[in-house]
Amino acid sequence: MELYIHIPFCVKKCAYCDFLSFGSDQDDRRRYALALIQELKYWGQQLDHPQVETVFIGGGTPSWMEPQYLAEIIATAREEFHILPDCEFTMEMNPGTVTQESLGIYLRSGVNRLSIGLQSSIDSELQTLGRIHDYNQFLRSYEKVMDAGFTNINIDIMTGIPGQNLKSLEKTLRNVTGLHPKHISAYDLMIEEGTPFYEKYCFDEVKRHAGMPTEFLPDEETQYQMTRLTEEFLESKGYHQYEISNFAKDGYQCRHNIGYWTRKEYLGVGLGAASLVRENRWNNIRDMESYIASCQDPFAVKKGEESTGLPGFMTDLQKLSRKDAMEEFMFLGLRLLAGVSARDFERAFGTTIYGVYGDVLRKHESEGLLIMKSGQIYLTERGRDVSNEVLCDYLLS
């Protein structure tokens, strides 16, 4: 099993971000930490203290929470779950939110992998994104991380930023690879509804998808060239692409995320966290005060309401059907450059992948979007370029 712990707090919400995150004061963070501890205790007992192969503390900005609270949360996770000795234990952080003292606490608590949100090494692009740091602040934080003794580090970068061009992207790629992190995540900027970026750039996004000239965002052709530049540059520096947006030195692929893409069981704790356990999928509620109250008394029933038999922090519980599981197997697994295994599909579902998806597989193969070789099925470079459209074809009617 994998364990995800959500910390929703940020110094300031970035202009493009639609994640469940917001500002807080110290009392908010203290009360939330206590609630998380209660939820971890609940699941430890409910699931009979299962083995955990990977832990990921994400957000938000986990490093914005007081390190002593994080240490208590991690200690509880260790008490309630059997965290394996070789567990990959990742924590997200943002530049400017760590000290030598806090990094030491994370390391002593068992965190062995840090994921740092940079996005760009160009200060004007960072300002456009609404980031809380400039590039020099990132470099100072990176130096602290290295001095603290962390060696397994991921750096997040972003393509498609308003005003970004191939020259500025190449500069970011050179700067980041020059630091020699073990892993680099390179995401395309998504213009998400409900964000300040959506209000400002939604029409530009429509024009880009229509192949029209854009005013702020890189146009469709430039975005394509950015993808190629990123892949080719990182490969030349020894970072091998193993998923559409992820690149790693040999042996440093993110095990936690590979678990998501290959449908390993995972438990999400904290506000809004998602879980997949025994083919049951659910989310936690998204209102902080309700979450804190329900962790204190999971089975409390409000006056006038009937008991659901579920803890109050759980919502949207559904038992995945065989059809749902097949769809997830395909559109998650095909994100990996290694693709999906016909043998694994048959082992999981008792039928051949060709019997279920033969028509669409042959169609994609004939269009040059997909390769079927020795029982392995994976997207071509062209297929990855239009992966959103391709993967939709694996939804069963």
Q: Provide the residue range defining the domain that includes 354.
A: 339-392
Among 212, 241, 261, the domain-final residue is 261
> Has residue 57 been placed in a domain?
yes
Name the residue with tokens 């950015």: 226
Q: What is the 3-state secondary structure (H, E, C) of 68-113?
A: HHHHHHHHHHHHHCEEEEEEEEEEEECCCCCCHHHHHHHHHHCCCE
The structural domain count of the chain equals 2
> Has residue 287 been placed in a domain?
no
Judged against a pLDDT cut of 60, whether residue 50 lies above it is answered with yes
pLDDT computed for residue 57 by the predictor: 98
82 and 201 in a single domain? The answer is yes
Q: Which amino acid is at 351?
A: T
Q: Which amino acid is at 234?
A: L
pLDDT computed for residue 330 by the predictor: 96
β-sheet bridge partners, residue 274 = 283
Q: Please tell me the distance from the alpha carbon of residue 75 to that of residue 72, in angstroms, as a whole number.
A: 5
109 and 218 in a single domain? The answer is yes
Among 261, 290, 309, the domain-final residue is 261
Judged against a pLDDT cut of 60, whether residue 339 lies above it is answered with yes
357 and 256 in a single domain? The answer is no
44 and 147 in a single domain? The answer is yes
- Measuring CA to CA, which residue among 214, 92, 101 is closest to residue 161? 214
384 and 253 in a single domain? The answer is no
Per residue in 165-194, pLDDT (tens digit) is: 999 999 999 999 999 999 999 999 999 999
The CATH number of whichever domain residue 129 belongs to comes to 3.20.20.70
> Has residue 280 been placed in a domain?
no
255 and 352 in a single domain? The answer is no
> Has residue 321 been placed in a domain?
no
146 and 254 in a single domain? The answer is yes
Name the residue with tokens 């680099």: 184
Q: Please tell me the distance from the alpha carbon of residue 301 to that of residue 393, in angstroms, as a whole number.
A: 43
Judged against a pLDDT cut of 70, whether residue 308 lies above it is answered with no
> Has residue 120 been placed in a domain?
yes
219 and 355 in a single domain? The answer is no
Judged against a pLDDT cut of 90, whether residue 388 lies above it is answered with no
> Which 3 state secondary structure label does DSSP give 57?
strand
pLDDT computed for residue 302 by the predictor: 55
225 and 371 in a single domain? The answer is no
> Which 3 state secondary structure label does DSSP give 319?
strand
Judged against a pLDDT cut of 80, whether residue 315 lies above it is answered with yes
Judged against a pLDDT cut of 90, whether residue 74 lies above it is answered with yes
pLDDT computed for residue 82 by the predictor: 97
245 and 345 in a single domain? The answer is no
| Pairing assessment for the beta strands 280-284 and 51-59 based on DSSP bridges | unpaired
pLDDT computed for residue 305 by the predictor: 58
Query: At how many degrees (to 10) do helices 322-333 and 342-349 cross?
Result: 160
Judged against a pLDDT cut of 80, whether residue 303 lies above it is answered with no
130 and 220 in a single domain? The answer is yes
140 and 250 in a single domain? The answer is yes
Average pLDDT, the chain: 95
Among 261, 294, 323, the domain-final residue is 261
Residues 253-262: what's their mean pLDDT?
Answer: 97
